Amino acid sequence: MDKLDMQTANIADKNFETLSKLFPNAVTETITGYDEDGKPVVERAIDADVLRQEISCQVVEGNDERYQFTWPDKKKSVVLANDPISMTLRPKREKSIDFDNTENIYIEGDNLDALKLLQETYLDKVKLIYIDPPYNTGNDFIYSDEFVEDEDEYIEKSGQKDDVGNKMVQNTETNGRFHSDWLNMMYPRLKIARNLLSQDGAIFISIDDNESTNLVKMMDEIFGERNRVALICHKSRASVSNDKIISPNHNTVLFYAKDITVLEEKRKMIGLDPILDKFDYDDNDGKGEYRLVPVDGPGGAKKGNPYYEFLGIKGYWRFSQETMQEKYDQGYVVKRGNSLYQKYYKTTAAATRRTTTTWWDDAGLMSNATSKLKTLMGGATFDTPKPLELIDRMLRMITFDDDNAIVLDFFAGSSTTAQALMEYNAENSGHRKYILVQLPEVISEKMEAYENGYRTICEIGEERIRRVSKEVKEKSNIDVGMRVFEIDSSNMKDVYYSPAVTQQTLFDLYADNIKEDRTPEDLLFQVMLDLGVLLSSKIKETEIAGKKVFSVADGFLMACFDKDVTEETVKAVAQQKPYYAVFRDSSMANDSVATNFEQIFATYSPETVRKVL
């Protein structure tokens, strides 16, 4: 049996292996320092000059100036994105709705940790990401990711934890690293987020002018400039303020594709519903209603439109003379007076959606969103919720052709994304699932939300989902549940990850490598993350020979974490022929069971991958 890693993958190792295979001549070793005995510490490396030469058709000489976007500690933020963590997700049934049946996920905790935990399981599986990150106005709280010293130690020492341990700092404009801190916070999160997107997936990010230009440069680097679909202007305010030279009433929404060529293939289906009025003609030939549109080439010679005479009319035309003649012969081009027109059929228009980069009067206002949320919640809870109309529009653009899509929002706030998704599903009986992540940021006692009984942002978001679930359930039989998780330290004791450095005198303490306060269900979900099994998978709990056995995703994974497991239990699991079978390393009832374990599986299910904790 193989031992489970029980920690996130080391992406740096994977990247090194990939580059090593592609460019073996760039693999080298470098001295990074010296140990206490004066011996050099040698580490693997990639020769950057060799790598640059491999991707250039010109001779690369030295460190010539080049276009780049950088800031202090950028390299450390790249390392932060790749570093593995020993964390887990612990289920919170008491906060959940229909835990056993729902496929919707809500995660409480730092979104960088959450993204790392999700990246193996949800690699290339997320269809749409929407985030509304802190705008860096000087008053927003920013997640603090310390690179050099131990993170918890640094945060504690610098006073950047609130009463419940949230890692946040207020990024004021007097801070000399005002932009750098924000960029270092965003970079690793967006880098991992890209990995989660499917090939036909897309990401939308709302931002204001404080960081919009920096965010565009960052996204161009992470996603590739060619995958920038649009910078959308969203009218977010109707009121006018006098505190600035010009009153800002819009946000920018960055729209990037994982692979823009995939979206281009279905671009006519992306956007708003088409306008289908003024189709006033019908020849009663079975082709349906149509309207007449000009066939002249408005660009003239400058746009390369051909010039010729057709039906006695000279001019620049949209089509070549051969195409024009063909359309005329087929009855699609007609002459009316001294002009030529083409028949544009309603059926064609119905198959073509439309959108522009200005989302002005149909994507919702912040003030309206705040009012609607206040009504839903029975009082003030959240100051800046995003409009439902805004996210609804994104859902219709990207998930219209996939009612099983996974939608991710890792700055969940008041959970607008969850409400928009549930209401869209209810409209067309869809099965789209959401994954929301929100730091349990403490609410100030000065806020109305505190007076209304809420203590963290997560409590607001979860309560909103509960209230919307009740409303939607009355109208539609869709999944309105919520499976809540909390990010926590690993279920495994330190000895699990570094047995070689554990002191001999502590062996008795570590006889069991699992923390005392962890449940079998806690272990199950960490195993699911480690093996890449979706968190939304159905879980069935049975009892075999007096031992609790979990069956996940119709027997794809079977796990037993009880002690004193007998051959009867092992045999029953093997006979189910799961893809994965997981037991505790110390759970076998005696040496005989441990000895016969492999033989039992070899007999009944040799293809099963066996793992132990």
Same domain, 395 and 439: yes
> For residue 77, is it within any domain?
no
**Domain match, 389 and 471 both:** yes
Confidence of residue 58 (pLDDT cuts 50, 70, 90): low
Spatial contact of 505 and 452, defined as CB atoms under 8 Å apart = no
- For residues 433-439, give the mean pLDDT: 97
pLDDT at 243: 80
Domain boundary among 442, 459, 488: 488
Do 506 and 574 lie in a common domain? yes
pLDDT, tens digit, 9 for 90 and up, residues 312-358? 999 999 999 999 999 999 999 999 999 999 999 999 888 877 788 99
Least reliable range by pLDDT among 145-149, 381-385, 451-455, 509-513: 145-149
Report whether pLDDT(141) > 80: no
DSSP 267-320: GGGSSBPPP-----EE-SSSS-EEEEEE-B-TTGGGGT--EEEETTEEEEBSS-
Same domain, 50 and 151: no
Q: Which residues pair with 168 in a beta bridge?
A: 143
Q: 63 falls in which pLDDT band (50, 70, 90)?
A: low
Q: What is the pLDDT of residue 92?
A: 98
Domain end call among 345, 366, 388: 345
Does residue 299 form part of some domain? yes
Question: Are both 246 and 362 inside the same structural domain?
Answer: yes
Reply yes or no on whether the pLDDT at 156 is more than 50: no
Query: pLDDT tens digits for 31-44?
Result: 677 677 766 666 77
Contact at 8 Å (CB) between 514 and 613?
A: yes
φ, ψ at 308 (rounded to 5°): -165, 175
Q: Are 116 and 145 in contact (CB under 8 A)?
A: no
- Percent of the chain whose pLDDT exceeds 90: 63
Q: Are residues 378 and 310 in the same domain?
A: no
Asked, for residue 74, whether it belongs to a domain, the answer is no
Is 21 inside any structural domain?
Answer: yes
Q: What Cα–Cα distance (Å) separates residue 507 from each residue in 172, 262, 270, 501, 562?
A: 49, 56, 61, 11, 21
Looking at 328, 345, 362, the residue that finishes a domain is: 345
What is the count of structural domains for the chain? 4
Say whether pLDDT at 219 is over 70. yes
In a domain, 81, yes or no: no
Q: What is the pLDDT of residue 29?
A: 64
Within 10 angstroms of residue 240's Cβ, the number of other Cβ atoms is: 9
Same domain, 336 and 370: no
Regarding whether 133 and 21 lie in a shared domain, the answer is no
Q: Which domain holds residue 524?
A: 502-612
pLDDT band of residue 158 (cuts 50, 70, 90) is very low
Residue 452: per-residue pLDDT: 94
Q: How far is CA 445 from the centre of its chain?
A: 32
Both 337 and 380 in one domain: the answer is no
Tell me, yes or no, if the pTM score tops 0.85.
Answer: no
Q: Which residues contact 539 (CB under 8 A, 6 or more apart)?
A: 100, 524, 550, 551, 552
Same domain, 100 and 144: yes
Q: What is the 3-state secondary structure (H, E, C) of 166-182?
A: CEEEECCCCCCCHHHHH
pLDDT of amino acid 139? 65
Query: What mean pLDDT do residues 187-211 have?
Result: 95
Q: What is the pLDDT of residue 157?
A: 36
Q: Is the model's pLDDT at 228 over the cut of 60? A: yes
Higher pLDDT, 417 or 56: 417
| 496 found inside a domain | no
Window from 38-47, 53-62, 124-133, 198-207 with minimum mean pLDDT: 53-62
Name the more confident of 254 and 502. 254
* Same-domain pairing of 306 and 427: no
Task: Tell me if 402 is assigned to some domain.
Answer: yes
Q: Please compute the mean of the pLDDT values over residues 271-287 and round it to a whole number.
A: 89
pLDDT mean over 362-376: 94
The whole-number pLDDT of residue 453 equals 94
Q: Kindly indicate the confidence band of residue 22, based on its pLDDT and cuts at 50, 70 and 90.
A: confident
Question: Do 296 and 247 fall within a single domain?
Answer: no
Please give the backbone phi and psi of residue 343, each rounded to the nearest 5 degrees, phi first: -80, 120
Tokens of 389: 């109309």
* 118 contacts 559 by C-beta, under 8 angstroms: no
- Residue 613 has what pLDDT? 86
